[in-house]
């Protein structure tokens, strides 16, 4: 009889998560595993059948009361045989007692509801090359490394349910990642990161005090890609963000539902123009 076990993935094994996500057309970033693993070294689970990986899921713990599910994948030849659901149950046990979030693809949302998840908003992935000049003003765009990391981490906390310093420090500094801030009179007014993906590049997070500042940051991030398309996962609860993407000529290509087991966390939704990554929240 075949032996099935669920183990904790090490950082080397996390390339499997990215490869399978790419196979599902999720277009992960090329270096995502570095920061992902730092977020919770025990939060990436690999289901193995006779030592062969057949299922993945991530269950990342943030702080003391929040967690996030992602990378829930069973390889096509092994679907419908219970291997995926066993990995899911292990992930939920890893996050027991926390408010758990996920981004659910359309065909799985009913299953997530059966597990107690409720939709908070939808993420719409917009992709393309932004069109039009950014508005002028007294905003200075600079490398994120020019501001103290503590300031950056505190700003990130406005838009995310928990501090995630280990993740963030690697996210802004990973090879190929470009992290920019928007400053006005020395105050932090926006923050964004662009990273190379399997196809084009992905922007996330994109935080800004106003849609004009978001426009300035997005144009600056996109300019580093030398004409390659960028993609952003935009919460439809932020209507100005959706309208900005449309004004810039970006096209919707994908949609998923942000869901939680409890109430949606209290974050600055008005300033959240794009999620950091729908794989980890």
Of the three residues 89, 121, 153, the one that is the final residue of a domain is 121
Q: How many structural domains comprise the chain? A: 2
CATH of the domain at 78: 3.40.630.30
Q: What is the pLDDT of residue 1?
A: 63
Identify whether 280 is part of a domain. Answer: no
pLDDT in tens, the chain (281 residues): 679 999 999 999 999 999 999 999 999 999 999 999 999 999 999 999 999 999 999 999 999 999 999 999 999 999 999 999 999 999 999 999 999 999 998 888 999 999 999 999 999 999 999 997 887 778 999 999 999 999 999 999 999 999 999 999 999 999 999 999 999 999 999 999 999 999 999 999 999 999 999 999 999 999 999 999 999 999 999 999 999 999 999 999 999 999 999 999 999 999 999 999 999 99
Give the pLDDT of residue 106.
85
Both 140 and 110 in a single domain?
no
Closest CA to 35 of 165, 206, 163, 157: 165
Q: Which domain holds residue 267?
A: 125-274
- Shared domain check, 88 and 153: no
Q: Does residue 38 fall inside a structural domain?
A: yes
Domain boundary among 76, 106, 121: 121
Q: Does one domain contain both 131 and 225?
A: yes
Are residues 133 and 238 both part of a single domain? Answer: yes
Contacts of 209 (CB under 8 A, 6+ apart): 189, 190, 271
Same domain, 184 and 112: no
In a domain, 281, yes or no: no
**279 domain-assigned:** no
Question: Do 245 and 113 share a structural domain?
Answer: no
Shared domain check, 142 and 56: no
Does 103 lie in the same domain as 25?
A: yes
Residues 136, 114 share a domain: no
Q: Is residue 97 part of a domain?
A: yes
Give how far Cα 4 sits from Cα of 7, 111, 145, 191, 244, Å.
10, 23, 45, 43, 48
Residue 141 within any structural domain of the chain: yes
Q: Could you give the C-alpha distances from 183 to 80, 113, 144, in angstroms and in order?
A: 51, 41, 10
Residues 176 and 252 in one domain: yes
Both 104 and 155 in one domain: the answer is no
Domain stop point among 121, 147, 163: 121
Taking the model in full, what pTM does it have? 0.95
- Does residue 64 sit in the same domain as residue 41? yes
Domain CATH code at residue 255: 3.40.630.90
In a domain? residue 12: yes
Round to whole Å and give the CA distance between 44 and 232.
24
């Amino acid at each position: 009889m075949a032996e099935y076990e669920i183990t904790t993935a090490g950082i080397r094994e996390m390339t499997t998560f990215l490869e399978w996500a790419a196979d599902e057309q999720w277009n992960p970033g090329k270096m995502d595993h570095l920061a992902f693993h730092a977020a919770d070294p025990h939060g990436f689970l690999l289901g193995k059948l006779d030592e062969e990986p057949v299922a993945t899921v991530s269950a990342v713990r943030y702080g003391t009361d929040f967690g996030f599910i992602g990378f829930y994948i069973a390889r096509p030849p092994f679907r419908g045989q219970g291997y995926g659901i066993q990995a899911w149950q292990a992930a939920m046990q890893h996050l027991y007692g926390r408010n758990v979030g996920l981004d659910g693809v359309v065909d799985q949302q009913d299953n997530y509801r059966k597990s107690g998840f409720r939709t908070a908003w939808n993420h719409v992935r917009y992709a393309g090359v932004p069109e039009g000049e950014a508005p002028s003003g007294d905003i200075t765009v600079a490398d994120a490394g020019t501001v103290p990391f503590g300031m950056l981490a505190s700003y990130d906390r406005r838009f995310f349910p928990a501090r995630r310093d280990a993740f963030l420090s690697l996210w802004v500094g990973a090879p190929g990642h470009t992290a920019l801030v928007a400053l006005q009179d020395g105050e932090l007014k926006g923050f964004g990161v662009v990273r190379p993906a399997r196809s084009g590049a992905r922007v996330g997070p994109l935080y800004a005090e106003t849609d004009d500042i978001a426009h300035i940051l997005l144009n600056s991030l996109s300019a580093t890609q030398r004409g390659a398309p960028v993609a952003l996962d935009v919460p439809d609860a932020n209507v100005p963000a959706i309208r900005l993407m449309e004004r810039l000529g970006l096209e919707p290509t994908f949609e998923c539902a942000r869901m939680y087991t409890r109430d949606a966390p209290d974050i600055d939704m008005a300033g959240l123009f794009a999620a950091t990554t729908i794989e980890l929240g």
